[in-house]
Amino acid sequence: MAQTVKATPIEKEQVVIDGVDISGHWNRMFEQRVIFNYTPEHLEEIAALPGGESLEWCYQCAKCIGVCPVDIVGDYGPRKIYRKVQTGTVLAEDSDLWLCTTCRNCLRVCPKEVDMIQIMPAVREVAVNKGTVPSELQKAFENTARYGNPLGENPRKRADWAKDAGVPVPIMGQVRRPVDILWYVSTYTSYHQRGKDAARAMARVFSALGVDWGILGAEEKDDGDSQRLAGEKGLFEMLAEQNIATFGKYAFNKLVVSGPHEYNAFKRFYPQLGGEYEVEHYTQFLRPFIPRLQEMMKKPLNVKVTFHDPCYLGRHNGEYDAPRDLLRAIPGGTLTEMGRCRENGYCCGGGGGGMWLDSFSRDYTTMRLSDRRVLEAVETGADVLAVCCPFEVSRFEDAVKSTGNAGRLVVKDIIELVDESMRGA
Amino acid sequence: MSSHRVLIIGGGPAGLTAARHVSDLGFHATLIEKQAQLGGTPIASHYAALTHGFRDAEDAFRDLIHQVTDDKQIDVRLNSRVVGCEGRVGNFNVHVANGAGAETLDAGAIIVATGFEHFDPARETQIYNYYTYPDVITLADMELMLKSKTVTRRSNGALPERVCFIQCVGSRDRQIGNEYCSKVCCGVASKQAIEIKQLVPTAKLFIFYIDMRMYGYWENEIYWPAQEKYKVNYIKGIVTEVIQKGDKLLVRGEDTTMGRPMEVTMDLVVLSVGMEPSAGTKEIAHALQLKQNKYGFIEVPHESLDPTVTSTPGIFVAGAAAGPKDLDDTMSMAGLAALRAMAAVRGAN
């Protein structure tokens, strides 16, 4: 019943009417203005998907819009999705489907518990099956399937960063003994230039603390959580199966992860597939060591620091204090909060597949979320934007440059700041 | 000599409840009803289910009516109307007319429970064509269909594929003169939408509204299930025209959350008509010389803290005679009016 009548746009290169040059102007009403029909069938289709039930609960209060990180730089918003679908939009074929970063801020405030964290992956899975995935995301999926990481990096080089760590980095396949801590390094920490800096810092801090630790090295594969949220549930399950098998080969007491996405995967989703571990984000793991770290952190950094809450550590998993406790323990660092922090922290744009959709999103947003967040960090007058998610260093360093703030603000992982103070470098 | 009688005018939910309470506490009640039956608007207008709790309306009121008719302390006068009144609290003389003639009854206190009537869409300012198109109906018309468990288009007897409700017809309107909210229509429309969906599962349902006023538990008991379980589509923005288009009805308005005009077709359009003072309420106000508010309801000078007191000592009001009420409020008010009336009788004796 939905009518999709479109008039032909009127475009002229050289038009002068009554002496007024209107060249290049055209009738903007080229899409049907009047809503001709409501097609609640599409709402019901989404509601029929496992995880899609809650979309049709929306009663248009619009609380989500005020906190949606995308709406502020574009026209996307959760309550709008409901209305668009109700008036005929097929979400699985619509650009809106890929703009949500699953940051969870809308769900935090939603009185009806409309859960985009479940709706988005459910509908994206439909798009994956239809083959209507944006090409750059598709590439990340393919890389993940082929190489075990979305970057398409050589899996054998996953632990290459370790060569320059300055301390021995025990690799489980080589040490052949049980360890206390299995550190899951993560893709971006392993391969990204600045991620590797954080990896080396972590190795040095573990070493200085005398932690009994090891890494998987080339055997480690991407956790797959963001691929799952981007609609590739099958790929996630494949990676989880592989990682669970690898974890199963070795004896360890606790998994410590570099990033919130891996934390989310291992803590909440791997158990559903048979992989149950004690998991800590590295800031949580290091928190009990703070007194000892303080003895070792000799060099005052003398910087003003602001901290970006990762969505998947904070809103998704409720940890706001561990990173801050570490930051406060560093000598010479003063922590200044951004207006939006903790529960209403602004998203960097990297979650839910956003990491692999920047070019796609550019057509639908006025600026990247990371750009906007960097402007908020600059507003605090901070010298350092501290992060503890492997997605963020790359995103925010780009954003510092693209917003013209190079030289004014640097982006550092918390572990780099700890290491820096310990090394006195 | 003072009278111990409490005279109750109106045999609907409020009047029946007031009569029962008066009798329960040992006083004599006389119930005057101008119709040939008790039950008031819910029965006369064939309500199907009560909005709060979905209980069958006829069953619910049958019980209440029997409690009153079986009670020897309650004197029920059907086909009777109050035409005049003299005296004061403790000693009223009320003139009652019926088919056989007229009589004067003494009463210590009076409770007015003369109710409301549904807004007549002939007075609408929008163009809904209620009296032109058979498939444009009111909430009351829909209640009758729901009572017979048959929801069909009146034009051709077919099952409707798309049914919409238009809220606030005759309410919240300065031009019409009814500036008030009728309180129950949001809930009644949502309740009916649920019942329609139960009877015609293939139907698509729409409610066009200004703002949904589902106070208290109506929110979670009616509105949320209507949307979440029965897939009722709530669209913010009131339809202002209904036009015949082929064998369908084209409804026109603005979809305000989309910021776009809309023209969609429906099979049945239900006008959510609000409440106005009943003819009986206006007649009684004159007969008892009670003040009315600007809308014609019985004026209650201190409504928030003393909701049953009228402009005349010893005359109390209960239910929708005093303004739009749902049943819950009506029943509570009837109990209070009964207490106040008995206290007035006792105080005067």
Beta pairing class for A16-17 and A20-21: antiparallel
CB B6 within 8 A of CB B27: yes
What pLDDT shows up at residue A1?
Answer: 42
- Pull the structure tokens for residue A246: 């690898």
User: What is the C-alpha to C-alpha distance for residues A283 and A145, in angstroms, rounded to an integer?
Assistant: 30
DSSP-assigned letters across all residues of B165-199: EEEEETSSBTTTTB-S--SSHHHHHHHHHHHHHHH
What are the residue boundaries of the structural domains of chain B, listed by start? Answer: 5-115+278-348, 118-275
CA proximity to B76, closest of B25, B2, B18 = B18
Q: What is the CATH number of the domain that holds A259?
A: 3.40.50
Size of interface A-B (CB pairs under 8 A): 50
Angle of helix A321-329 relative to helix A414-423, nearest 10 degrees?
A: 20
Task: Tell me whether B258 touches chain A (CB under 8 Å).
Answer: yes
| Chain B residues in contact with A36 (beta carbon < 8 A) | 262-264
A250 interface with B at CB cutoff 8 Å: no
User: Quick one: residue A62, left, alpha or beta (phi over 0 = left, psi -120 to 50 = alpha)?
Assistant: left
Q: Does A138 lie at the interface with B, CB-CB under 8 angstroms?
A: no
Instruction: Evaluate whether A387 touches A310 at the Cβ level (below 8 Å).
Output: yes
Please, is B6 exposed, middle or buried when counting C-beta atoms within 10 Å of its C-beta (0-12, 13-18, 19+)? buried
- pLDDT for res A30: 57
How much of chain A exceeds pLDDT 90, in percent?
90
Q: Is residue B155's pLDDT more than 60?
A: yes
Q: Give residue B98's pLDDT.
A: 92
What pLDDT score does A18 carry? 81
Mean pLDDT value across residues A51-77: 95
Q: Is domain B118-275 annotated with CATH 3.50.50.60?
A: yes
Helices B327-348, B13-24: axis angle to 10 degrees equals 40
| Radius of gyration from C-alpha coordinates of chain B | 21
A27 pLDDT higher than 60: no
- Bridge partners, B208 (sequence order): B166, B235
Structure tokens at A273: 């597939």
pLDDT tens column, B160-193: 999 999 999 999 999 999 999 999 999 999 999 9
Specify whether the CB–CB gap between B206 and A38 falls below 8 A: yes
Assigned fold of B5-115+278-348: FAD/NAD(P)-binding domain (3.50.50)
Nearest to B233 among A34, A38, A112 (CB): A38
Q: Are residues A210 and A276 in the same domain?
A: yes
Tokens of B18: 């007031």
Q: Do residue A268 and residue A165 come from a single domain?
A: yes
Query: How many domains in chain A?
Result: 3
pLDDT in tens, B206-227: 999 999 999 899 999 999 999 9
Q: Which residue in the set B224, B233, B262 is minimally distant from A35, CB to CB?
A: B262
Q: What is the DSSP letter of A265?
A: I
**Residues A310 and A384 reside in one and the same domain:** yes
What 3 state SS string does A91-155 have?
A: HHHCHHHHCCCCCCHHHHHCCCCCCHHHHHHHHHHHHHHHCCCCHHHHHHHHHHHHHCCCCCCCH
pLDDT tens string A388-416: 999 999 999 999 999 999 999 999 999 99
Residue A56 lies in a domain: yes
**Are A99 and A162 within one domain?**
no
Give the A window 59-78 contacts with B, CB below 8 Å.
59-60
- On whether both A198 and A83 belong to a single domain, the answer is no
Burial of residue A128 (CB within 10 Å: 0-12, 13-18, 19+) is buried
User: In angstroms, what CA-CA distances link A58 with A88, A205, A216, A289, B189?
Assistant: 16, 48, 45, 46, 19
Report whether pLDDT(A25) > 70. no
Residues on chain B touching A87 (C-beta within 8 angstroms):
255, 258
Radius of gyration for the alpha carbons in chain A, expressed in angstroms and rounded:
24
B30 contact partners, CB below 8 Å, separation of at least 6: B5, B6, B7, B8, B74, B75, B76, B77, B105, B107
In tens, the pLDDT along B62-88 reads: 999 999 999 999 999 999 999 999 999
Q: How far apart are CA A258 and CA A261, in angstroms?
A: 9
B64, B13 in Cβ contact below 8 A?
Answer: yes
Shared domain for A340 and A407, answered yes or no, is yes
Asked whether the beta carbons of residue B234 and residue A83 sit closer than 8 angstroms, the reply is no
B264 and A CB contact within 8 Å = yes
Mean pLDDT of A116-141: 97
Within an 8 Å CB–CB cutoff, is residue A43 touching chain B? yes
Terminal Cα-to-Cα distance of chain B (whole angstroms): 9
Which of B231, B233, B262 lies at the smallest CB-CB distance from A34?
A: B262
Residue with tokens 């009111």: B138
Within 13 A of A49's CA, how many CA atoms are on the CB side?
Answer: 25
Amino acid at the residue B328: D
- Per-residue pLDDT for A5 more than 70? no
When the pLDDT of each residue in chain B is averaged and rounded to a whole number, the result is 95
Check pLDDT > 90 for residue B302: no
Residue A6 falls inside a structural domain:
no
Partners of A34 on chain B (C-beta within 8 Å) are 260-263
Distance CA A44, CA A406 (A): 49
What is the distance in angstroms between the Cα of B324 and the nearest Cα belonging to chain A? Answer: 26
d(CA B58, CA B53): 14
pLDDT (tens digit per residue) in A196-252:
999 999 999 999 999 999 999 999 999 999 999 999 999 999 999 999 999 999 999
Phi, psi dihedral angles at B237 (to 5 degrees): 130, 125
Asked whether B113 and B330 are in contact (CB, 8 A), the reply is: no
With respect to residue A87, please indicate whether it lies within any of the assigned structural domains. yes
A49 and A64 both lie in a single domain: yes
Question: Is residue A192 in some structural domain?
Answer: yes
Q: Which of A37, A43, A60 sits opposite B257 (nearest CB)?
A: A60
> Six-digit token pair at A299?
């060099």
Task: Round to whole Å and give the CA distance between A52 and A48.
Answer: 7
- Could you give the CA distance from residue B164 to residue B248 in angstroms, rounded to a whole number? 12
In whole angstroms, give the CA distance from residue B198 to residue B208.
Answer: 20
Domain for residue A230, yes or no? no
- Report the length, in residues, of chain A: 425
Q: What is the pTM of this model?
A: 0.89
Task: Specify the 3-state DSSP secondary structure of B164.
Answer: strand
**Nearest alpha carbon to residue B318 among B140, B109, B62, B178:** B109
Residues A82, A163 share a domain: no
Instruction: Spell out which residues of chain A touch residue B260, defining contact as CB-CB under 8 Å.
Output: 33-35
Q: How confident is the model at residue A2 (pLDDT cuts 50, 70, 90)?
A: very low
Q: What is the pLDDT of residue B115?
A: 98
Q: Supply the DSSP string of A321-350, one letter for each residue.
A: HHHHHHHHHSTTEEE---SS-GGGPPP-S-
Q: Are residues A167 and A273 in the same domain?
A: yes
The predicted pLDDT at position A39 comes to 85
Q: State the amino acid at position B99 in one-letter form.
A: G
- Could you give phi then psi for residue B88, rounded to 5 degrees? -145, 180
The residue written with tokens 């064998």 in the block is B247
Q: Which of A115, A95, A119 is nearest to A106 (CA)?
A: A115
Strand partners, B316: B111, B309
Residue from B147, B186, B154 nearest B169 by CA: B186
Question: What Cα–Cα distance (Å) separates residue B80 from each residue in B74, B96, B104, B112, B295?
Answer: 15, 6, 12, 14, 26
Write the single-letter amino acid at B172: R
Q: How high is the pLDDT of residue A17? A: 75
Q: What is the pLDDT of residue A21?
A: 72
Give which of A5, A35, A42 to mutate to test B binding, by max B Cβ within 10 Å: A35
CB-nearest to A38 from B206, B227, B257 is B206
Cα separation values, A3 from A27, A80, A89, B263, B269, Å: 20, 20, 11, 12, 22
Domain containing residue A86: 38-130
Judge if A259 and A299 occupy the same domain.
Answer: no
Under DSSP, the state recorded for B56 is B
Q: Report the DSSP pairing between strands B91-98 and B101-107.
A: antiparallel
* Nearest by CB: A83 against B206, B257, B261: B257
Secondary structure of B64-83 in HEC code, one letter for each residue: HHHHHHCCCCEEEECCEEEE
For A300-343, how does the pLDDT look when each residue is reduced to its tens digit (9 = 90+)?
999 999 999 999 999 999 999 999 999 999 999 999 999 999 99
> Does A368 have pLDDT greater than 60?
yes
Confidence of residue A22 (pLDDT cuts 50, 70, 90): low
Q: Render the burial of A233-244: b for 16+ CB within 10 Å, e for the rest.
A: bbbbebbbbbbb
In this structure, the strands spanning B239-245 and B248-255 are antiparallel
Domain B5-115+278-348 shares a fold with domain B118-275: yes
CATH number of the domain residue A100 falls in: 1.10.1060.10
Chain B residues near residue A39 by CB distance under 8 angstroms: none
